Amino acid sequence: MQEDLFKRLVSHCKEYGFIYPSSEVYDGLGGVYDYGPMGAELKNNIKEYWWKAIVQMHENIVGLDSAIFMHPKIWKASGHVDAFNDPLVDNKDSKKRYRADQLIEGEIDKLQKKIDKEVEKASKRFDNFDEAMFRSTNPRVVEWAQRADDIAKRLAKALSAGDMADLKAQIDELGIADPESGSRNWTEVRQFNLMFSTQMSNIAGDDGKLYLRPETAQGIFVNFLNVQKTTRQKVPFGIAQIGKAFRNEIVGRQFIFRMREFEQMEMQFFVRPGSEMEWYEYWKTKRMAWHQSVTPAAKLRFKPHEALAHYANAALDIEFEFPFGFKELEGIHSRTDFDLNSHQELSGRKLQYFDPELNENYVPYVVETSIGVDRMFLAVMTNALVEETVPDAQGEDSTRTVLRIPPALAPVKCAVLPIVRNKEELVEKARSIFDRLKPYFQCQYDEKDAIGRRYRRQDAVGTPYCITIDFETMEDDTVTIRERDSMKQERVPVAKVAEIVREKTDMHRLLASLT
Ligand code: ATP
């Protein structure tokens, strides 16, 4: 069922101009995608909603747009040159590459699925089924859960110790086979650095080796004092940035969930040392509220990290229930003073803040919120895509595909439709209404096909309102306005349309709900 939803989602994205595979005429490029006309609008709206919620709604957060190329030493200081690796393993027979940790996680997922099946079976057998009791007492379920837990713990330990030999040992002990070929003939596991590199034209050798940034955060760290001085912000304050990031993922997977070129929305919040846990809690709550303003709460959850990255003293993910299960959508990390300190050491420049209230200099601590635009896009589409049965014009059952995208994020806010296209005065009137509306929001004019089909086309791209111009319009200057979800139609004066649509689709409502 969920797999089915995922397939439908991918083909819907292609069919309606949301997302195309990159370089499709050359059979595509793995883990890279292009956003079509509808996708570009939706993506811009997601970015705008994040930017406004973070920058516009907080006096003490300012924006930045730093370059993708940065001095190569930045990636040495941040730890990416030495430690931004994934464990890679090749299957000698199929020649396929895998992430060793994902193969092992696959075993945990299998056990989890077995447990869920057992619970479901039992819940059908017993009337007053006590799930918690069953999970903690059924011998088979307890044994599987214990096994899953043991595997997860050993995996986390091997990953944080960088113990590649133990990952290989786990693959062998668990008898993991290549999902494609069934072969168990694996190479050793080795570290693979995820940064893409390129060469600057005017500097030869390693000094001219540039990296495509794997995160936007470092551009914020190295500009921390520039921004603080030019904006006269006082700690605590934040710097936000939206931009492309690049990771040479071993396996590009699950559509736009794991890409090699993607976009991040990151915010680094600089705080007094010692106050970071308070701010970590604050941003945890704030970011969850932002998600819940556009996503049902049941599809979101917090997941604390099993193993902390070298720079963090606390970290969690906000997970979303994608069609392939709960997975990371956003990370919230207390990054301590690791990055600023490292840049201070390697550059030899002071990156300290003078706190006028304490009358002392210090390197601030940092709480980071980091979300992928593309994963948010996939979350919005997952929530939105619905197929439902509705009555057609003759009252018969018909199915419609509708994207219930929150109106403020919808690519097109309003479609303008003359009821027929062979009456010149109707078309002229519709065109003049379209011209009046387009300065206010994204509109579409459509006169092709029967009105019912045009409504369906707009439903399929998530347009919240359709305005229909008919013969009555010519008499009393009113139009029908149709709402996407309820399909209710109302007659309203032409002069009111812009105001109605703007009030319902503008971002200010969502933003106001966050305070
Ligand atoms: P994962 O564990 O899924 O690889 P991560 O922990 O490496 O993710 P972060 O480094 O915390 O991810 O990056 C912050 C955010 O950037 C993630 O929450 C995710 O939304 C997004 N992101 C990271 N890698 C990718 C990718 N390859 N494709 C799309 N989005 C990504």
Q: Is the pLDDT of residue 229 over 60?
A: yes
Do both 231 and 312 map to the same domain?
yes
Protein residues with CB under 6 Å of any ligand 1 atom: 215, 247, 249, 258-259, 262, 264, 328-331, 370-372, 374-375
The last residue of one of the domains, among 191, 223, 252, is: 191
- Indicate whether 106 and 75 sit together in one domain: no
364 plus 506 within the same structural domain? no
Q: Which of 78, 333, 370 to mutate to test the pocket of ligand 1 (most atoms within 8 A of CB)?
A: 370
- Give a yes or no: residue 313 inside a domain: yes
* Residues 312-340: tens digit of each pLDDT: 899 999 999 999 999 999 999 999 999 99
Please check whether residue 30 lies inside any domain of the structure: no
pLDDT, mean of residues 385-397: 86
- The answer to whether 386 touches 439, Cβ cutoff 8 Å, is no
Question: What pLDDT shows up at residue 237?
Answer: 98
* pLDDT recorded at residue 311: 81
* Ligand 1 atom at shortest distance from the alpha carbon of 370: 14
pLDDT for the residue 297: 97
Average pLDDT over residues 223-247: 97
- Residue-level pLDDT at 205: 79
Dihedral (CA of 167, 168, 171, 177) sign: positive
Atom of ligand 1 nearest to the CA of 264: 16
So what's the pLDDT on residue 192?
A: 95
Q: Does one domain contain both 350 and 276? A: yes
2 located within any domain: no
Give the mean model confidence (pLDDT) for residues 132-161: 93
In one letter, which amino acid is 80? H
* Same domain for 234 and 303: yes
DSSP output for 408-452: TT-S-SEEEEES-SS-HHHHHHHHHHHHHHTTTS-EEE--SS-HH
Structure tokens at 375: 């994963």
Cα-to-centroid distance, 513 and ligand 1 (Å): 27
d(CA 212, CA 156): 28
Out of 371, 375, 378, 380, mutate this one to test ligand 1's pocket (max ligand atoms within 8 Å of CB): namely 375
Please identify, among 125, 157, 191, the residue that sits at the C-terminal boundary of a domain.
191
pTM over 0.85: yes
Is 421 a domain residue?
Answer: yes
CA of 39 to the centre of ligand 1 (A): 20
pLDDT digits (tens, 9 = 90+) for 402-453: 999 999 999 999 999 999 888 899 999 999 999 999 999 999 999 999 999 9
Give yes or no: residues 422 and 365 share one domain.
Answer: no
Residues 381 and 457 in one domain: no
Atom of ligand 1 nearest to the CA of 252: 27
What distance in Å separates the CA atoms of residue 310 and residue 18, rounded to the nearest whole number? 37
Mind giving me the DSSP string for 155-209?
A: HHHHHHHT-HHHHHHHHHHTT---TTT----B---EEEE---EEE-TTS-GGGGE
Q: Which atom of ligand 1 is nearest to the CA of 376?
A: 20
Q: Residues 139-161: what's their mean pLDDT?
A: 94
How far apart are the C-alpha atoms of 407 and 441, rounded to whole Å? 12
Choosing from 35, 262, 330 the residue with most ligand 1 atoms within 8 A of its CB, the one to mutate for a pocket test is 262
Cα of 372 from ligand 1 centre, angstroms: 6
Does residue 396 lie within any of the structural domains? no
- What digits encode the pLDDT tens for the residues 106-116? 999 999 999 99
For residue 204, the model assigns a pLDDT of: 78
Give the end of a domain, one of 138, 171, 191: 191
Q: Are 135 and 173 part of one and the same domain?
A: yes
> Among the atoms of ligand 1, which is closest to the Cα of residue 373?
20
Buried b (16+ CB within 10 A) or exposed e, 191-207: ebbbbeeeeeeeeeeee
Residue 427 belongs to domain spanning: 407-513
Residue 159 confidence (pLDDT) above 70: yes
Residue 402 lies in a domain: no
Q: Whose CA is nearest to atom 21 of ligand 1?
A: 372
Query: What is the mean predicted confidence (pLDDT) over 199-220?
Result: 90
pLDDT at 245: 98
pLDDT above 90 covers what percent of the chain? 88
Q: Would you say residue 1 has pLDDT above 60?
A: no
CATH code, domain carrying 480: 3.40.50.800
- Residue 344, judged by CB atoms within 10 A of its CB (0-12, 13-18, 19+), counts as middle
How high is the pLDDT of residue 242? 98
The CATH number that applies at residue 382 is 3.30.930.10
Q: How far is the CA of 370 from the centre of ligand 1 (A)?
A: 8
Atom of ligand 1 minimally distant from the CA of 317: 18
In a domain, 22, yes or no: no
Q: Can you tell me the distance from the alpha carbon of 515 to that of 510, in angstroms, rounded to the nearest whole number? A: 10
User: How many whole angstroms separate alpha carbon 227 and alpha carbon 248?
Assistant: 31
**β-strands 61-64, 19-21: how paired?**
unpaired
Ligand 1: distance of its center to the CA of 217 in Å? Answer: 13
The yes-or-no verdict on residue 253 having pLDDT over 80 is no
pLDDT for 275 = 97
Can you give the pLDDT at residue 368?
98
Please state the domain count of the chain: 3
Residue 257 has pLDDT above 70, yes or no: yes
**Percent of the chain with pLDDT strictly greater than 70:** 100
**Pair (288, 300) in one structural domain:** yes
Judge if 330 and 362 occupy the same domain: yes
Question: Which of 17-21, 249-253, 475-479 comes out lowest in average pLDDT?
Answer: 249-253
Can you give the pLDDT at residue 407?
Answer: 98
Whether the per-residue pLDDT at 347 is higher than 80: the answer is yes
**pLDDT (0 to 100) of residue 393:** 72
Q: How many angstroms separate the alpha carbon of residue 103 from the centre of ligand 1? A: 18
Residues 94-103: tens digit of each pLDDT: 999 999 999 9
What are the tens digits of pLDDT across the range 27-82?
Answer: 999 999 999 999 999 999 999 999 999 999 999 999 999 999 999 999 999 999 99
Q: What is the mean pLDDT of residues 85-100?
A: 94
Q: Is residue 321 part of a domain?
A: yes
Query: Which residues, listed in sequence order, are joined to residue 387 by a DSSP beta bridge?
Result: 401
Q: What is the pLDDT of residue 126?
A: 86
**Predicted pLDDT of residue 202:** 81
Q: Give the mean pLDDT of 479-506.
A: 96
Q: Is the pLDDT of residue 127 over 90?
A: no
Query: Do residues 203 and 285 both lie within one domain?
Result: yes
* Closest C-alpha to 337, from 316, 307, 368: 368
Shared domain check, 198 and 59: yes
Mean residue pLDDT of the chain comes to: 94
